[in-house]
C-alpha cells in the first residue's frame, strides 16, 4: 500500500516538471531560424539578422533607422504613478508596443526590484511595481532622477539623439532612458578588452550623424545563441559605422517587437526564467513610430 501511495505522489510531483519540459521544447522549436536575413520593415527602417558560429553560436538582430527619413519619431514608456519610487507597472515589450501604438519597440532601462530564479519564481510579473535606474523621462517629464554615482548615463531623444556627457540630458530632451556602459564615444572604443567580456544577451543603441542602430544579441541558449561581451558589441557597432554607443538592460530583458500586418511580432528569442521566447515584464521601453512601406519600397 505504501509503495502504491509513494508511486502516486511521485507521479503527481513529476507532472509540473514534465509540463515545463514539454513547453520548453515547444518554445525552442518556435525560435527564429539560424539563417541570415535582411529586409525593410517600415519607411526608413530595416531589419537584419546575423548568425555567428564563431567564437560561439550567436543570433544578432540589428535594426537600422535612417535619421533623415521623414516621420520617424521616438517614445519612452510613460510612468504609471507620479512617485519617484515604484513609478511603473511592469509590462512586456509586446504589451508596450500594443499600448503605445508604435511600430517597433525594444527594452530599455535597468530596473528594480528583480529576481529570476525559476519559471515559477521571478519578479516582476505583469502589473507589479518597479523603478527604473538613472535619468528617465517621457514626453518632457522626468520620472526617474539622475544616478548620483554617474554609472548610468542617459540616452537622450529630442532635437537629436545623443548620449549625455553628464547624469542628465540637455534642456531640449523629450524622452530619455539610462544605460551602462557607454562603449563608443566620438568614434572611439572606450571599453577595455576585458570589460564585461562575458557572453550574455545584450541590447544596445548606437548611432552616427546619419543612422541609428538598435543592436540585440540573443543569449543563454546553448547551441542556438550564447550571447556576446561588451567589447564584441563595441566592435560590431564600429563595423556598422557608429560613432557612439551605449548598452541598455540585457539578460532576459532583451526583446525586439514590431507591428506587422496588424499584429505584434517578436523578432528575436527572448529568454526569461530560463524559458526561450518567454518575454520578461520590465520597467520601460523605447518605441519608434514609423510609416508603412510605400509600394516602391516593397
pLDDT per position as a tens digit, 222-251: 999 999 999 999 999 999 999 999 999 999
Residue 2 zone, left/alpha/beta (φ > 0; ψ -120 to 50; rest): alpha
pTM (2 d.p.): 0.90
Main-chain phi, psi angles of 209, to 5 degrees? -70, -15
Q: What is the pLDDT of residues 46-104, one digit of tens each?
A: 999 999 999 999 999 999 999 998 789 999 999 998 777 789 999 999 999 999 999 99
Cα 124 from Cα 203, distance rounded (Å): 20
Q: Is the C-alpha dihedral spanning 156, 159, 161, 167 positive or negative?
A: negative
pLDDT of residue 19: 44
Cα 95 from Cα 101, distance rounded (Å): 10
Of 146, 177, 186, 192, nearest in space to 253 by CA? 177
Asked if residue 10 has pLDDT above 80, the reply is no
In three-state secondary structure terms, 252 is helix
Cβ distance 220 to 280 under 8 Å? no
Amino acid at each position: 500500500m505504501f509503495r502504491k501511495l509513494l508511486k502516486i505522489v511521485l507521479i503527481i510531483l513529476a507532472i509540473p516538471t514534465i509540463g515545463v519540459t514539454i513547453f520548453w521544447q515547444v518554445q525552442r522549436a518556435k525560435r527564429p531560424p539560424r539563417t541570415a536575413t535582411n529586409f525593410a520593415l517600415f519607411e526608413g527602417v530595416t531589419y537584419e539578422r546575423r548568425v555567428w558560429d564563431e567564437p560561439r553560436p550567436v543570433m544578432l538582430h540589428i535594426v537600422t533607422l535612417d535619421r533623415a527619413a521623414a516621420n520617424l519619431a521616438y517614445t519612452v514608456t510613460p510612468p504609471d504613478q507620479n512617485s519617484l519610487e515604484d513609478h511603473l507597472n511592469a509590462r512586456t515589450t509586446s504589451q508596450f508596443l500594443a499600448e503605445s501604438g508604435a511600430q517597433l519597440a525594444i527594452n530599455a532601462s535597468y530596473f528594480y526590484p528583480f529576481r529570476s530564479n525559476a519559471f515559477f519564481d521571478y519578479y516582476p510579473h505583469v502589473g507589479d511595481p518597479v523603478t527604473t535606474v538613472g535619468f528617465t523621462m517621457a514626453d518632457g517629464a522626468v520620472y526617474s532622477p539622475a544616478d548620483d554615482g554617474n554609472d548610468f548615463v542617459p540616452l537622450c531623444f529630442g532635437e537629436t539623439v545623443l548620449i549625455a556627457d553628464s547624469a542628465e540630458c540637455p534642456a531640449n530632451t523629450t524622452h530619455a532612458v539610462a544605460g551602462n556602459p557607454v562603449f563608443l564615444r566620438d568614434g572611439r572604443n572606450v571599453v577595455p578588452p576585458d570589460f564585461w567580456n562575458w557572453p550574455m544577451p545584450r541590447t544596445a543603441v548606437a548611432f552616427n550623424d546619419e543612422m541609428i542602430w538598435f543592436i540585440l544579441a540573443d543569449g543563454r541558449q546553448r547551441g542556438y545563441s550564447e550571447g556576446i561581451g561588451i567589447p564584441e558589441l563595441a566592435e560590431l557597432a564600429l563595423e556598422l559605422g557608429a560613432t557612439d554607443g551605449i548598452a541598455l538592460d540585457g539578460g532576459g530583458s532583451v526583446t525586439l517587437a514590431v507591428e506587422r500586418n496588424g499584429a505584434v511580432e517578436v523578432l528575436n528569442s527572448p529568454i526569461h526564467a530560463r524559458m526561450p521566447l518567454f518575454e520578461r515584464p520590465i520597467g520601460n521601453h523605447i518605441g519608434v513610430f514609423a510609416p508603412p512601406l510605400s509600394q516602391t519600397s516593397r
